[in-house]
Structure 1
Amino acid sequence: MNITQDKIDNLNSVLTVKINPDDYKERVEKAIKTQAKKAQLPGFRKGMVPASHIKKMYGKNILVDEINNILNDTLNNYITENKLEVLGQPLPKIDDSKEFNWDFTDEFEFIYELGLAPEFNLDFSSKDKITYYKVKVDEETLASRITNLRKSYGKMSNPDVSADEDVLYADLKQLSADGSVFEEGISNTASIRLDQVTDDKIKKSLVGLKKDDVVELDLQKAFDGNATIIAKLLNISEEDAQDLKSKFQVTVKNINRLEEGDLNQEFFDKLFGADVVKTEEEFRNKIREELESMMVQNADQKLQADMLKFGLDKVTMNLPDEFLKRWLKATNEKLSDEELAQGYDDFARNLRWTLIENRIIKDNKLEIKYDQVFETAKKRLDAQFRMYSPQPLSEEQLGQYTAQFLQDKENANRIFEEVKAQHVFDYLKSVITLDTKEIEYNKFLELK
């Protein structure tokens, strides 16, 4: 067997693999004998089928399989032994002029294209500066959070006249083009949340309504085409909601208003436990602390995104783009040329960052341990369970769920990549100079 590499340029190579009968004869004969021992054919006892009979019936298929096995082993060994950092997988070059007889005496020649990872330098240092935002709670955000909490523990009332944050419990009936009720059309009784209405003019028309008032409503315009909201209101599918053009007659049956809970000791104790907070000032400070703690995560996410962009701009590298496009098409049969053209830049960007991450991990000997992956997965699962149940799982139960979760290869790979990204993020934070800047949350949201 002979394998040679022809380097086209720094990013592309061609491997030629030549296989002669001496390379595959012994493996094929062994595979035929193994098949003969397992075969169950009419007229023969199990394990007593002659190897020559198996060779005659299935020999070519076995030969093809063994040649493919030899090719895979040869390519993998060559890439490993020569320390080639390839992108994607070797891509076979189809030569229609070559035809094999598959008669156990053929000499085979296979040609593969390789896309090679680029050479690049990393020189992150303290000379590099990135802004790190320390997010402070502005009064508007604080007031909104307090209002939501007070409503969560408030009481429902039924006012005579609707206001802009009320809920209208109403009958909805589909209208014909002439404005009359479409007798066989869609009808439902549902709650219309006025705080979800995005059109100011329509919202204004829904304020000041009383029980039994009737109005005409354009749902698509009222909710800015939000199919999820419209489907829920009418009890139809989101697909049908998306295509819906009709207006609806709305008859108010009741008006619901959630009154804010009083800022008293009972309210404080429900939120934080007995006597943890005793005054309105302590309550406001506590909410501010909790919000700012949450905003640290927002600031870290912003920093991580900024570091990624900074790294991609700083590190210059080229990719074997044409090879990668052919490889993507070869491994994704349903991928159209249009989809490839639209999505390739994002694919290439992610690939470049992956190469940078891998180099940082390798050069700095950053070790990713299983217990780090396990603990990260456990935190993610714990957060999910808490969304559906206020009662947390025991450590033992959570550990069992985590172990089961990580048995799925896709889950394990996703969490591994998350831990790897965090290692790289922590490393860059320790190397690059962070220019800390305070900013209010409402201004932070305006940043891109």
Structure 2
Amino acid sequence: MNIKRTDNDALTATLTIEVAQADYKEKVDKILADYRKTATIPGFRKGHVPASLINKKYRTPILVEEINKLIQEQLNNYISKENLNLLGNPLPVEQGEIDWNSENYSFDFEIGMAPEFEVDLKGQKAITHYEIKTDDATINKQIDRIREQYGKLISKTEVEAGDQVTGIFRNDDEGINTDATFTIDKIKGKTNEKKFIGAKKGDTLELNTKGLFNDDHDLMNFLKIEHDQAHDLDITVSFEITEVNEREKADLNQEFFDKLFGPDVIKSEEELRERLREDAKKQFAQQTDQKLLTDVTETLIENTKFDLPADFLKKWIANNGEKELTEEEAAAEYERSEKGLRYQLIESNILKSNEDLQLKFEELKAYASAQIREQMKQYGHMDATDEEVDQIVARIMQNQEEVKRMSEQLQNEKMLQFFKDNVKLKTKEVTYEDFIKEAYDA
């Protein structure tokens, strides 16, 4: 068997595989001989069917199957031996009807190859890495929310600003009869707010649903109606006040700190503020890091220039999906996937050039162990032993889906850190609101 390569251009080539009779004859003859021993054909005793009849009935399908096996094996061997970096799989070149009574055969396959290129990280323009600052006003609001959450309710008879009211919304025509609890600050507009202020437990208020709450989603939740209905609802409802409560904020004392973080972890308001700042920083870092990763990816795709075997890839897309696509459908799919393919090649180039980025089994195990310990802490298991963690890790490492998920997660984290260390960055400190506006044009 012989394979010959003919380059069509820089990124595509044709592989011609020549199959001679000597390559397949012995194997095909053996299979036919075995068939003759076991074949059951009416009019002949088992094992005594004439060889000519066996050949006529079975030779062609056996020959086709064996030649296909030979071709696939030789293609794989050739690609591996020549160290070809292919895009997609070899595509058989259409040819006329094959005469399976011949002794020698020739088959052509088109291949598309990944381009050679360099990734210049240092030459890229500086990319903004946002840092979200948590100012005192934000921390004060967060502390107030937590104090209210852990505070206690004091029953009242008359509604004042800031109070929490419970009651029943009713409208017989719309079938509304629902209980609801909300704070007065959710009410929209002074006119609506005045109807509540000074009202007493047992009073019934007449309210219009249009513009009743600052957020239409509150109207949907409190009246238990569909999302689309809430946005356009303009009806009158009654609201019978059944409870009025003032929420007294929890004191900033050790009992409060212990409820939040466990015994003696936080011992003062200053430590609480510092902890909230750190937690906010971690939370915001996930968003700013994701934005950075997206921006670096887009910049690399835009500035790393290389050609792709586009025509080959379109043909490959057309013939290798769940269903065969038309030329137009394949071209559209190629356009949708081209950026992703370019980044895959760029990332592969970076991984190949930086051995430290390659994932190692022990590294993945350590990553899994750290994740498990963190999860156990969240459920109150603060002092898990190495043996306990190792047993869970062993189970996880037997789950292919979990291993794949963690591998992708860890690889993304390593790539992110690599970009932070190697790409030109300019740090910009902003508030969370400004980050949303700048990063997402909100």
* TM norm. shorter chain > 0.5: yes
Deviation at 1:369, TM superposition (A): 0.6
Q: Identity of paired residues, percent?
A: 30
Q: How far apart are 1:378 and its partner, in Å? A: 4.4
> In the TM superposition, what whole-angstrom CA distance separates every residue of 1:289-321 from its partner, at most 9, and x where no partner exists?
332244344443333233222322331122223
SS in 2 for 1:5: strand
In the alignment, residue 347 of structure 2 is paired with which amino acid?
Answer: E
Change (3 A) 1:10 1:419: farther
Measured in 1, the distance between the counterparts of 2:217 and 2:112 equals 45
Secondary structure of 1:447's match?
helix
Q: 1:416 aligns with which of 407, 414, 439?
A: 407
- Could you list the runs of 5+ residues in structure 1 that have no partner in the other structure? none
> Matches of residues 259-298 of structure 1 in structure 2 within 5 Å?
260-298=249-287
- 2:109 aligned with 1:120, yes or no? no
Q: Which residue of 2 aligns with 1:350?
A: 340
Q: Which residue of 2 aligns with 1:430?
A: 421
Q: Deviations over 1:359-403 (max 9, x none)?
A: 12222333421122233344556666777x444676545444444
Equivalent position of 1:442 in the other structure: 433
Shift of 1:232: 11
User: How far does the alpha carbon of each residue in 1:134-192 deviate from its partner, in whole angstroms, 9 at most, with x for none?
Assistant: 4321234323432343344233566665978968665677x8xxxx346xxxx774657
Secondary structure of 2:250's aligned partner: coil
User: Mapping of 1:201-350 within 5 angstroms?
Assistant: 208=196, 213=205, 215=207, 217=209, 234=224, 260-333=249-322, 344-345=334-335, 347-350=337-340
Change (3 A) 1:127 1:21: closer
Q: Is 2:359 the counterpart of 1:368?
A: yes
Q: How far off is 1:207 after superposition? A: 8.2
Q: Once the 2 structures are TM-superposed, how far is the Cα of residue 90 of structure 1 from its aligned partner?
A: 1.9
Secondary structure class of the residue paired with 2:438: coil
Unaligned runs of 5+ residues in structure 2 are none
Change in CA separation of 1:316 and 1:203 when aligned onto 2, cut-off 3 Å: farther
C-alpha change, 1:411 and 1:101, in structure 2 (3 Å) is farther
- Partner of 1:278, secondary structure, is coil
Q: 1:255 to 1:32 in 2, by over 3 A?
A: farther
Report which stretch shifted further, 292-301 or 159-168: 159-168
User: CA–CA distance in 1 between the matches of 2:154 and 2:47?
Assistant: 86
CA distance in structure 2 between the aligned counterparts of 1:166 and 1:411, rounded to whole angstroms: 45
1:252, CA displacement in angstroms?
5.4
Matched AA of 1:66:
E
- Once residues 69 and 232 of structure 1 are traced to their aligned partners in structure 2, the CA distance between those partners, rounded to angstroms, is 67
Deviation at 1:127, TM superposition (A): 7.9
Q: What TM-score do you get using the length of structure 2 for normalisation?
A: 0.73
Per-residue displacement from partner, 1:259-299 (whole Å, max 9, x unpaired)? Answer: 54332221012223334433323322221233224434444
Secondary structure of 1:445's match? helix
Aligned partner of 2:70 in structure 1 is 70
Alignment correspondent of 1:12: 12
User: Would you say 1:86 and 2:76 are equivalent positions?
Assistant: no
Q: Does 1:147 align with 2:144?
A: yes
Say whether the 8 Å CA contact 1:126–1:431 is kept in structure 2: no
Aligned residues: 423
Shift of 1:343: 5.8
